[in-house]
Amino acid sequence: MPKDSVKTDLSIENQSEHQQKTTEKREIKLLDVVTLTQDIPEHNLKRGEVGTVVEILADGDAFEVEFSDDNGQMYKCTSFPASQLKVIHDEQIVTNPSEQVNIGPLEEYRRAAICAANLDNWKQAATFLEEGAKRTQQIENTERYIGLYADAGFAHFKAGNMLNCIKLLHLALQDFEKLPQDSEDLQYFTLKKRLEHTIKWIWIIWCGIEDKASLPFEPPAGFCSNTETNEKVLDLPDSPIGYSWLYLAQIEYRFGHETTVFQHALQTPDKNTYPELNLFLSLLKTQDDFRNKTLNELPERIQELANACDSIQKHLQSGKGIGEEGIGFIPVQNVPNFTSVENITVMTVAALVIQLSAGADTHAILSIWRANSSDLPIKENMTTVLNLIDRMFSADQNNALKVMKTQDVKSEERLTAALKIIHNIETSPEDLFHAHILISTYLVDSLIWLEPFLTGLAKLLSVQWLEKIKFRATSKMPLVTVPEIEQACKSSETGKKKIGQILLAAHPAVSASVALDTLQQFRTWTESDQKREHTTRKNPAAQRLIKAMEKPPHLTDEDIEVLNWSIKEGKIPISFDSPFDSDESNK
């Protein structure tokens, strides 16, 4: 019998209360924590050993019970009649008198949680772990209850409850930071590694990080509250706790609930030691400003990003790594220069797109940025960009069009010219299309990290094209193109996927020549982040064609126009399944 087995408290002073409770028959349920009422010699089990019900047998007359050791490993699983089992009420779990530390609340709730997780009942597992953490906290066993709260957060993630997941992981990190930092304390050292590994795993899954190869294994149930120090744990990367705050802040940001973790992450002292961590926190701060459309401090954000990148360069030049072992995300050649006129223009145009999509005054914020950059090191380049925008906004529409369409003009001038074009509600569909293409091709892939900008740009394109298609006569082949544009603009997609859909739908409606590689870029944006799987559905366009052929009139002038356009564009290879293929044809 494991040394930490828990006994039920049936002492004389508790007998009357216990008898009162047992008079009320309580049905044994799945995942109940139960104790044996007698010795079971054939299974080497003793009266008082505690396990978890994992299966109900014989219509509730017998039960399969799983017994686990301190590490959550099952050492016995067998069936018993109901008469040999008693459900342990919360108040009956007490300290083993032979032990100085109260391990009862921890171990039995933890073991029950592992059993629940093994049955894929993560919601019940989270409940057990939270209760175990609360009870362990009462006896001030700090490292153990921190591990239990982290495990409960992980269980909530597996159960789909992100709010409680973030809340409990935040609590675990906060309390972990209060522990004395002792790198020679093996228990502290392993808990730190387990916490970081758990949070990073959730970050990779929740935020859709493509490179999942960097995460060796999914944390098992009870991972953080396990005190065992095996090689598997010791070999985990030893990351600064600031990175755990960063991962959790990014999880919180993606969840979109609040910024409690983010505000705490900004205070981590690790960002002063690890410049890469400082850069990612600055990027997250910029994302938050764009999402909340609080862009008055854009010059300060650009300066913070520039300072972080400058620190990274100096850090690398001094011979130091970008972060602690195994942490470096950014190759030195990919560290951006946020102080350049081109990159300041990119950030400024992106912010003005957000202002436009929200219907805000773009002229007023230019004055605010000018004032807020007056004392910053980037003042000179920021002023250059703001002067360029002012000059372009006051320029004639034809001059702006000429600048936008001239290939050998500097990118920052073309971008600001395109911004001028989309400001003018009288812009023709062709010119609007050119401006949208220029802004999208310059900014979407370079600002892929700035998700709120992609959302804002998609919204702006939707609003402007829905307005343009009100005047059907301005569109080529309106019977075909107008419904396609409307469908793309009103789709539930967001970000670069929606941007690509709108531009592809708008292309046939305008007299604009677009390079094949640019169209292919838009098609790439519309694809799913994961590799497309072949489906067995019939081609919907072909099905609509067959349906249309069944009804008169069989051919109209509009049909001829569409056919002529299709022949003209025939150089672009288009493939689709035959409408006469069977459902298995596309396997």
User: H or E element: which one contains 145?
Assistant: helix 142-159
Q: Is 27 helix (H, G, I), strand (E, B) or coil?
A: coil
Nearest to 143 by CA among 183, 192, 72, 107: 192
Cα–Cα distances (Å) from 573 to 566, 568, 580, in that order, read 11, 12, 21
Residue ranges per structural domain of the chain: 1-91, 101-272, 440-529, 541-586
pLDDT score for 425: 82
Write phi, then psi, for 68 (nearest 5 degrees): -125, 155
Q: Are 477 and 559 in contact (CB under 8 A)?
A: no
CA torsion angle 419 423 427 432 (round to 10): 40
Let me know the angle formed at the C-alpha of 481 by 447 and 573, rounded to the nearest 5 degrees: 75
Nearest to 349 by CA among 413, 292, 269, 304: 413
User: H or E element: which one contains 85?
Assistant: strand 85-87
H helix count then E strand count, the chain: 23, 5
Tokens of 437: 């293409």
pLDDT score for 11: 38
Q: 1-91 maps to which CATH number?
A: 2.30.30.40
pLDDT score for 116: 84
**Angle 162-177/142-159 helices, nearest 10 degrees?**
160
Tokens of 199: 């949070």
Query: How far, in Å, CA of 504 to CA of 469, rounded?
Result: 15
Per-residue pLDDT of the chain (587 residues; tens, 9 = 90+): 343 443 333 333 444 444 444 433 457 888 788 888 888 888 888 887 888 888 888 888 889 988 876 656 677 888 899 888 888 754 444 333 333 334 445 677 888 888 888 888 899 899 989 988 887 776 666 888 899 999 999 999 999 999 999 999 999 999 999 888 776 778 888 899 999 999 999 998 887 765 555 666 889 999 998 877 777 787 887 788 888 999 999 999 888 867 789 888 888 888 888 888 888 889 999 999 999 999 999 999 999 999 988 888 777 776 665 554 334 455 555 667 888 999 999 999 999 999 988 888 888 999 999 999 999 999 999 999 999 999 999 989 999 999 999 989 999 999 999 999 998 888 999 999 999 999 999 999 888 888 899 999 999 999 999 999 888 777 888 888 899 999 999 999 989 999 999 999 999 999 888 888 899 999 999 985 444 333 333 444 444 444 444 455 555 555 555 555 655 555 444 443 433 344 444 43
Q: Which long-range contacts (CB under 8 A, 24 or more apart) does 398-407 make?
A: 401/431, 404/434, 404/435, 404/438, 405/434
pTM (2 d.p.): 0.70
Cα–Cα distances (Å) from 337 to 343, 442, 454, 560, in that order, read 7, 16, 21, 53
Q: Are 126 and 155 in contact (CB under 8 A)?
A: yes
Tokens of 290: 């764009």
pLDDT score for 9: 39
Task: Quote the strand ranges of 20-69, DSSP E.
Answer: 33-36, 50-57, 62-68
Tokens of 139: 């006896």
